[in-house]
Amino acid sequence: MVKYIKIICGYREDQEHSIPLDEAHKAYRLFMNPTERAIFSNGLALKGIKQIIPDYHATMGWNPTHKIDGYDLNEIKKLGIDREIQDGMKLAQNVAKLVEQKHDPELLSKPLSDCIKLLK
């Protein structure tokens, strides 16, 4: 199952974008450097991010208009999806910080799953 995060760039619904968790480090790098730009694998090109949150709708395959209720949250927790996404987001933050420290933007072109090896 592919995990997703949601990037929120503004206050309208059309300013919310879903990307795979494997590209979360690009989003965090852009969040930390709002004047820079990033292009994601789905073709989304952005400059500036206001918020990064888990995207349970895309991860679970639910329609974006579906209202998540307690039963849905229980299913997400039972499957461990909430923990996997949160852990992935923390790793992505660390990779983005590593890119800043090492001045190595090449890491941004690799999937997060490959970059994790560099943190160990």
Say how many C-beta atoms besides its own lie within 10 A of residue 48's C-beta.
14
Instruction: Tell me the residue range of the domain where 10 lies.
Output: 4-119
> pLDDT value at position 119?
67
3-class SS of residue 115: helix
| Other CB atoms within 10 Å distance of the CB of residue 64 | 11
**How many domains would you assign to the chain?**
1
At 20-48, the pLDDT tens digits run 999 999 999 999 999 999 999 999 999 99
- For residue 48, which phi and psi values (nearest 5 degrees)? 90, 130
Rg of the chain, C-alpha, whole Å: 14
Q: What is the DSSP string of 3-38?
A: -EEEEE-SSSGGGEEEEEGGGHHHHHHHHH-TTSEE
Q: Residue 4 has what pLDDT?
A: 97
DSSP state of 67: P
61-112 pLDDT per residue, tens: 999 999 999 999 999 999 999 999 999 999 999 999 988 888 777 788 888 8
